[in-house]
Chain A
Amino acid sequence: DQQVKQNSPSLSVQEGRISILNCDYTNSMFDYFLWYKKYPAEGPTFLISISSIKDKNEDGRFTVFLNKSAKHLSLHIVPSQPGDSAVYFCAAIASGSRLTFGEGTQLTVNP
């Protein structure tokens, strides 16, 4: 039972454009959401997070949006840069539980 799903295995965008990575979840008890970024041959690194009491969190070029009624969150990268090419994992947690990760989305930003 995959409680966190990233339905797009891959996404390709042009440099300078917006990248939108999507994530859906089924557990309504999730109260905190995170995005991790992973380059080849490296471990994931924390990127940005959002609490369920908010609907938006912004950090530089990265913005995460949360739509609780739709059980959907998205990561926007504007403008996209070639160095953003990586696998992006969304993750979610409910109080007292452990992190649940999505399958990941491979983002490729073309120069």
Chain B
Amino acid sequence: NAGVTQTPKFQVLKTGQSMTLQCAQDMNHEYMSWYRQDPGMGLRLIHYSVGAGITDQGEVPNGYNVSRSTTEDFPLRLLSAAPSQTSVYFCASSFSGTAYSPLHFGNGTRLTVT
């Protein structure tokens, strides 16, 4: 049981490049989400999904796209990378997406945009 798996662990991009951060979970969780962690700002929600085919914006969605074609996968796409997107990105899932179902996080992707 791998839990939440994120790839890659590290990535360096040049400004303007695009890339996809992968996230997969094997717990059959309906709810999946993406957070970014920046110094002094905690974890901020980028996008989330309450089930296959359903996505919605979080607190800081600009510059990112998501899709949810299967229950297991929830990729995050950076359309045109900017230095402000340098951050650590975490994918998280939970059974129901409410606070009564704590989030399970992946180990993160550290992204640097130069």
Contact = CB atoms under 8 A, between A and B. Distances in A.
Interface of A: 4, 6, 9, 32, 34, 36, 41-46, 49, 89, 91, 93, 98-99, 101-104
B100 to A, nearest CB: 7
Contact of B102 (A6, A42, A46, A104): A46
A98 B90 contact: no
Give the one of A6, A32, A43, A49 with max B CB within 10 A: A43
Interface in B87-114: 90, 92, 98-100, 102-108
Contacts of B99: 32, 34, 49, 93, 99
A4 B102 CA distance: 18
A106 B45 CA distance: 21
Contacts of A102: 42
B42 A101 contact: yes
Interface residues of B, number: 23
B2 interface: no
Contacts of A42: 107-108
Contacts of B59: 98
B58 interface: yes
A49 B108 contact: no
A45 B48 contact: no
A6 B40 CA distance: 10
B43 interface: yes
B21 interface: no
Contacts of B81: none
B100 A44 contact: no
Which of B4, B43, B90, B98 gathers the greatest number of chain A CB atoms within 10 Å? B43
Given A44-B90, A104-B42, A99 B103 contact: yes
A101 B43 contact: yes
A41 B107 contact: yes
A73 to B, nearest CB: 14
A50 to B, nearest CB: 11
B105 A45 contact: yes
B100 A43 contact: no
Nearest to B105: A43
